[in-house]
Amino acid sequence: MIKRIGVLTGGGDCPGLNPVLRAVVKTAIVKYGYEVIGFKDGYRGLVENNFVKLDLDDVSGLLDQGGTILGTSNKHNPFNYPVNVDGNIEYRDMSKRVLENLDMFGIDCMVFIGGDGTLTTARDLMEMGVKGIGVPKTIDNDLSGTDTTFGFMTAVYTATEAIDKLHSTAESHHRVMILEVMGRYAGWIALEAGISGGADVILIPEIPYDINKVAQKIMERKNRGKSFSIIVVAEGAKDIEGDMVVNKIVEDSPDPIRLGGVGNKIAEEIERLTGIESRVTVLGHLQRGGAPVPYDRVLSTRYGVHAVELINQGKFGMMVSLKGNRITEVPIEEAVGTLKTVDPNGELVKIAKSLGVGFGD
């Protein structure tokens, strides 16, 4: 008998988190009469007992709001938790405290909303006996087990809008405009935004690029009377030597590598090889912020409702999933551990190449 469920949002923020929370809370209360407890700042709230009871009024008006009212964190894995000991940070396994806290507050099931890191931790907690359901979140769309993660389409829309604006200034000044987008080790945002924005070159991690071929593409356009070019580059794009550009290392993060700077590298090389003035725009966290587009509002709502339905059916250990046009579920272990990346020989890449888009290969 389920009476009280918990929910948290972990990892990086993205558009659609609040609509998921809204759907979970409304379905739980209105349809099933469950009580809902929200844990603040991801797993930190679960370890440190920082929580809030969520009622219908708390989620009213959240459908079009970006971010998450619960807050989030990607640095508080309960299995490797930072603890301040006499001014020094030590890392300890606090997973048993999570179990104790859930038992103390009578939480019958958890809804874990997050990406690969958050759901990997959720899986580990489930293996310890926690009843849980996962909801796939990431703007990178790199989570296995689902066709689309919520937040992705909003990030693509933001990147596409940026490309649209760069076109006019690129044409006016006869420049090469380079837009660097997020995506970590997957090129989904760059690929789909590049296609929808009419980019001339798209560089993604899955297809190592030869800068000479990129320059050749730009010169071919110039020789046809096209005095400008648009390049969309994923932050994890690799050259033919296999090198990515690392911005910095964050030692206390579960994913310490911070990518960034590949746009500037490409701009310098393009200017050297072609003599054409090049400018870089790094879209950065603009892709994470703002109101979710209608697609993500609907997808987030479908995910949140289905998560509660799975709880009612007792189907724990699952992650809600989109397969084609159908909302379903998969075992959470199928969703984590292996990133979903772009197929270099897939339909979208072939379509882009048919249109004359260069990938530097």
Catalytic residue annotation:
140
Type of residue found at 18 = N
The whole-angstrom separation of Cα 259 and Cα 282 is 12
DSSP letters spanning 298-347: HHHHHHHHHHHHHHHHT-TTEEEEEETTEEEEEEGGGTSSSB----TTSH
- Residue 238 in tokens: 């690799």
Residues 155, 287 contacting (CB under 8 angstroms): yes
Residue in the structure block whose two tokens are 């709001």: 65
Residues 150, 20 contacting (CB under 8 angstroms): yes
Q: Helix, strand, or coil here: 235?
A: coil
Instruction: Tell me the backbone φ, ψ of residue 145, rounded to 5 degrees.
Output: 90, -5
325 burial level (CB within 10 Å; 0-12, 13-18, 19+): exposed
Q: Helix, strand, or coil here: 122?
A: helix
Residue in the structure block whose two tokens are 């469920």: 5
Task: Note every long-range contact of 294-300, with CB atoms under 8 Å and residues 24 or more positions apart, other chains counting.
Answer: 295/153, 295/154, 296/15, 296/16, 296/19, 296/150, 296/151, 296/152, 296/153, 296/154, 297/16, 297/19, 297/63, 297/64, 299/16, 299/148, 299/150, 299/153, 300/16, 300/17, 300/19, 300/20, 300/23, 300/150
270 burial level (CB within 10 Å; 0-12, 13-18, 19+): buried
